[in-house]
Chains A and B, each alone.
Chain A
Amino acid sequence: MINEEANTAVENKPETQEYFINMGPQHPSTHGVLRLMLTLDGEIIKKVEPHLGFIHRSIEKMCEKDSYQQIVHLTDRMDYLSCHMNNEAVCLCVEQGLQLEIPERVKVIRTIISELTRLSSHQLWWGVMGMDLGAITTFLYGFRDREMITDIFEETCGARLTMNYNVPGGLMFDIHPNFQKRTKDFITYFKKKLPEYDDLLSNNVIFTERTKGIGMLSKEDAISYGVTGPSGRASGFSCDVRKHFPYSAYDRVDFREIIYTEGDCYARYRARIDEMHESMKIIEQLIDNIPEGDYKAKTKAVIKLPEGEYYQRVETARGELGVYVVSDNKKSPYRLKFRSPGFSNLSALNIMAKGDKIADLVATMSTLDLVIPDIDR
């Protein structure tokens, strides 16, 4: 090898060779068991090939034997960072099929908890983003703030991560008496802490240099690859399900759809940080106006959806989650398909990372906010 290089130097014909490197399945920055096959030229990425299937648990198939109540808890295990939205998607789909009238209280509580989940997901993402770029302290600060939300969840829903707070027709329990106070406390606390995020990372010259102009994704590509969520909106693709197809209580709250047109890592980063501000705005509007009423609509013990096809989409922290149910009037669905945001977002990784360096791939992957169980299901 050394001799070869020496010879080529003599002939003044620099000859380079492309090589492969396996990033993952065990790698610190793939956040799980994702395997990326990189074709590299020096440190320049020529091609990224994601290989999936390391954490495939066939959730869709399992859904085909479960009752509709049981399906809900499986969705916790897909995108565990936005578990409430996943649960909500299935519940909304079943409610749509049953044509149930959902109490207003349920809608508002679902919206508040969805936004809290989004906040906690983004906080964790922020911490991990910093860590991927080498600033380990952000990880701890992100988790510190997330801890308050998980405490709220634990008190009201009974679990910190896989909450399973939704049941078809409503909620599992009513909110805890402390819920409103705790949430308000959190909002006042986090309003003070969010500028810290900017000081530590957003405005840092190293960070902006690392993210600006990196991992470019054009609007056309975002649409054709189906990149949704903050990642898609950072490319100028207006795809917020909460705005375009409002569900639960999103039709009555005032919030801004965050759209950036740059399409680089920094835009995706900013989109998420701004989304945290918007989430807090939504929670503030709703938290004092939770209408009285039942926390659950009356449903039969065995839910059977009428024969037909149902589709429901929600906006999770990562993008648009679609639940497609084909029912044949039995107690479990004939076929259930999740359109998971992570899978579509990952598919665009190749065009985003091509031509960048390995370090940029890490930043790009981090701003896509991948959750591997969501990709594989």
Chain B
Amino acid sequence: MNFNIYDFTGFVNSIKQWLNSVFPPAVADITGFVIIGICFLTFITLLGLSLVYIERKVCAFFQQRLGPMRVGFWGTAQTVADIIKLIFKEPLIAKGSDKFLFNLAAFIVIVAPFMAIAAVPFAKGLHVLDFDIGLFFITAVSSIGVTGILLAGWSSNNKYSLIGAMRSGAQIVSYELSVVLSLLTIIVLTGSLQLSAIIESQRDGWWIFKGNIPAIIAFFIFIIASTAESNRGPFDMAEAESELTAGFHTEYSGIKFAYFFLAEYINLFIIAAVGATVFFGGWMPLHIGNFEFFNKIMDFIPPIIWFFGKIAALIFLIMWFKWTFPRLRIDQLLTLEWKYLLPINLVNLLMMSVVALNGWHF
């Protein structure tokens, strides 16, 4: 084993070699898949639990409260206790609902972020799927989740759920456009959709700094649109607890409800990961051009810490939105997208193309 916190390539390769030396090739591949699967399952579970806890604490501190304090030290085991409670709750199915779709919806919602997370580059070499269309894959796969939301609303036999699902459909279809266009603005500079290539292109500085004003505008559009796409914050029209009780997951209980809940937080993580990768250089430490001494110091911090630090900062920003702003109305939400974000985005893309063609970026 050659374990190196700065570069996982050797570590991953040594595991691969070891597997190949012990098992025949086919079995080795399958064992590899299973190990990766288990790693991701554990990671996602821990991620969900910790994000729920973090959200509660962050929200509490915004609201001058303490948040969960009873279970464990500073309430750290609270989410574990909640999950145990949810597992033991009765999975109710409403009368007259379409049972098959009702159960399927919860799985679709959770499967989408599971698939997307595979393409997220965690650190150098710690990257499961490095497609040449990695960014496209993430944006495409993560929007499968809306199918689950639509199905959940449709199959629940509840008018509130249906309204919530329809709102969610309209919302995600619109905001998908802005997310992709804002990412495209940076792709103009990188010239590649491959996530590792995008990160590599930020070796001498992150795009948010290098990419001039259009990059900053693109980042803000990205953060707004992706918050909307994940049904969070001021854009939680699909849930809108003061209007639609709980929106599309009104009828869900127990572990199926937990799936929706978990999916929301993994989506949050994926959004932050994409944002961090494209705008803030993923696991790439903060480098300033050819300023060697500074770059050396920054390189000293392991990439995985850079990556999770950036994600934490973005997640905090999204939580800050959620716990400050009132919710928009559905037509205002669409107005915001079609009348403000989309035109700005298109102009911004044009500006970025001009910048890229003239080489005005750094």
Direct contact of A and B (CB under 8 A): yes
Q: Is the C-beta of A161 less than 8 angstroms from some C-beta in chain B?
A: no
**Contact at B324–A134, with CB atoms within 8 Å?**
no
Q: Is the C-beta of B18 less than 8 angstroms from some C-beta in chain A?
A: no
Given A21-B160, A133-B326, A141-B64, does the pair A362, B242 have CB atoms closer than 8 Å? yes
Given A131-B242, A141-B64, A206-B234, does the pair A200, B330 have CB atoms closer than 8 Å? no
* Residue ID in chain A nearest B241 by CB atoms: A28
Q: Is the C-beta of B288 less than 8 angstroms from some C-beta in chain A?
A: no
A contact residues, range: 20 to 34
Task: Give residues 119-168 of A contacting B (CB, 8 Å).
Answer: 130-137, 140-141, 144
Given A136-B63, A137-B63, A358-B163, does the pair A210, B243 have CB atoms closer than 8 Å? no
**Contact at A135–B326, with CB atoms within 8 Å?**
yes
Q: Give the distance to chain A from B246, nearest Cβ to Cβ, in Å.
A: 9
Q: Give the distance to chain A from B166, nearest Cβ to Cβ, in Å.
A: 9
**Contact at B64–A359, with CB atoms within 8 Å?**
no
**Contact at A357–B330, with CB atoms within 8 Å?**
yes
Interface string of B214-253 (1 = CB under 8 A from A): 0000000000000000000010100011111100000000
Q: Give the distance to chain A from B168, nearest Cβ to Cβ, in Å.
A: 13
* Residue ID in chain B nearest A358 by CB atoms: B243
Q: Is the C-beta of B74 less than 8 angstroms from some C-beta in chain A?
A: no
Most buried by A among B62, B241, B329: B329
Contact among B65, B159, B243, B325 for A29, CB-based, below 8 A = B243
**Contact at B240–A359, with CB atoms within 8 Å?**
yes
**Contact at A357–B329, with CB atoms within 8 Å?**
yes
Q: Is the C-beta of B331 less than 8 angstroms from some C-beta in chain A?
A: yes
Query: Contacts of B62 on A, CB cut-off 8 Å?
Result: 137
**Contact at B159–A132, with CB atoms within 8 Å?**
no
Query: Contacts of B127 on A, CB cut-off 8 Å?
Result: none
**Contact at B234–A134, with CB atoms within 8 Å?**
yes
**Contact at A43–B64, with CB atoms within 8 Å?**
no
**Contact at A210–B329, with CB atoms within 8 Å?**
yes
Q: Is the C-beta of A173 less than 8 angstroms from some C-beta in chain B?
A: no
**Contact at A43–B163, with CB atoms within 8 Å?**
yes
Q: Give the distance to chain B from A44, nearest Cβ to Cβ, in Å.
A: 10
Contact among A29, A130, A141, A360 for B329, CB-based, below 8 A = A360
**Contact at B326–A207, with CB atoms within 8 Å?**
yes
Interface string of A185-216 (1 = CB under 8 A from B): 00000000000000011001011011000000
**Contact at A359–B241, with CB atoms within 8 Å?**
no
Task: Give residues 62-104 of B contacting A (CB, 8 Å).
Answer: 62-65
Q: Is the C-beta of A252 less than 8 angstroms from some C-beta in chain B?
A: no
Interface string of A337-366 (1 = CB under 8 A from B): 000000000000000000001111010000
Task: Give residues 220-267 of A contacting B (CB, 8 Å).
Answer: none
Query: Contacts of A358 on B, CB cut-off 8 Å?
Result: 163, 243-244
Contact among A21, A132, A206 for B325, CB-based, below 8 A = A206
Query: Contacts of A181 on B, CB cut-off 8 Å?
Result: none
Interface string of B144-180 (1 = CB under 8 A from A): 0000000000000001100100000000000000000
**Contact at B242–A132, with CB atoms within 8 Å?**
yes
**Contact at B240–A209, with CB atoms within 8 Å?**
no
Q: Is the C-beta of B344 less than 8 angstroms from some C-beta in chain A?
A: no
**Contact at A134–B160, with CB atoms within 8 Å?**
no
Q: Is the C-beta of A57 less than 8 angstroms from some C-beta in chain B?
A: no
User: Bound complex: CA of A206 vs CA of B327, how far in Å?
Assistant: 7
**Contact at A134–B327, with CB atoms within 8 Å?**
yes
**Contact at A200–B324, with CB atoms within 8 Å?**
yes
Q: Give the distance to chain A from B288, nearest Cβ to Cβ, in Å.
A: 36
**Contact at A141–B63, with CB atoms within 8 Å?**
yes
Task: Give residues 321-355 of B contacting A (CB, 8 Å).
Answer: 323-332
Query: Contacts of A207 on B, CB cut-off 8 Å?
Result: 326
Query: Contacts of B326 on A, CB cut-off 8 Å?
Result: 130, 133-135, 201, 204, 206-207, 210
Most buried by A among B63, B240, B326, B328: B326
Q: Is the C-beta of A179 less than 8 angstroms from some C-beta in chain B?
A: no
User: Bound complex: CA of A201 vs CA of B159, how far in Å?
Assistant: 30
Interface string of A25-44 (1 = CB under 8 A from B): 00111000000000000010
A-B pairs, 6 with minimum CB distance: A134-B327, A133-B326, A140-B63, A135-B326, A29-B242, A359-B329
24 contacts between A and B (CB under 8 A): A28-B241, A43-B163, A130-B326, A132-B242, A133-B242, A134-B236, A134-B240, A134-B325, A137-B62, A137-B63, A141-B64, A201-B326, A204-B325, A206-B325, A206-B327, A206-B332, A209-B332, A357-B329, A357-B331, A358-B243, A359-B240, A359-B243, A359-B329, A360-B329
